[in-house]
Amino acid sequence: MRTPMRPSPEPASSAIVERDGRFLLVRRRNPPAADLYAFPGGRAEAGETPAETALRELYEETGLQGSNPRLYAVYDLKSGGVEDGPPSHFMLSVFLVDADPVSPAMAASDAKEVGWFSLDEIHMLPAPPSVLECAERLARERQSR
């Protein structure tokens, strides 16, 4: 049985927005991460920088206008193939993003729902390892200050 060829990585970005120790997550509507909770994000459009992608996706999925994107992590994400569906390969840039501290986030675009979650709550959700890793790292950094 042949292993399917993985496509070249597609550029994608996500935005970490934090309020009062809680992280903004969207529940994904579409594959490859359908029904998982993740930071707002998605594929880059032609000509976009990774930071522009993060800000656009944040707005499209939650209605929040982000600013001041700072690169926080980069992941080489490969999934799918044979039983999981078609293979996918993303180079994900994760940004810390500022957003208005009182504007409500509302599910839009390919987000089924949005919510603000503590690190303990994220541990209980179906979330990609990259989300949990970033949230845990941020919590550790906050404690060491």
DSSP letters along 76-104, please?
A: EEEE--GGGSS-EEEEEEEEEEEE-SSSP
Given a contact cutoff of 8 angstroms between Cβ atoms, the answer to whether 18 and 74 are in contact is: no
Q: Which of the residues are catalytic? A: 113
Q: Can you tell me the mean pLDDT for 126-141? A: 95
The Cα 47–Cα 138 span in angstroms is 30
Residues 25 and 39 sit within 8 Å (Cβ to Cβ): yes
Predicted pLDDT at 5: 59
Per-residue model confidence (pLDDT) at position 84: 52
Sole residue written with tokens 């989300």 = 131
pLDDT at 46: 95
In order of their start, the domains of the chain are 10-143 (3.90.79.10)
Q: Is the pLDDT higher at 30 or at 35?
A: 35
Radius of gyration of the chain (CA): 15
pLDDT tens figures, 10-27 = 999 999 999 999 999 999
Split at pLDDT 50, 70, 90, the class of 8 is confident
Band (pLDDT 50/70/90 cuts) for residue 4 is low
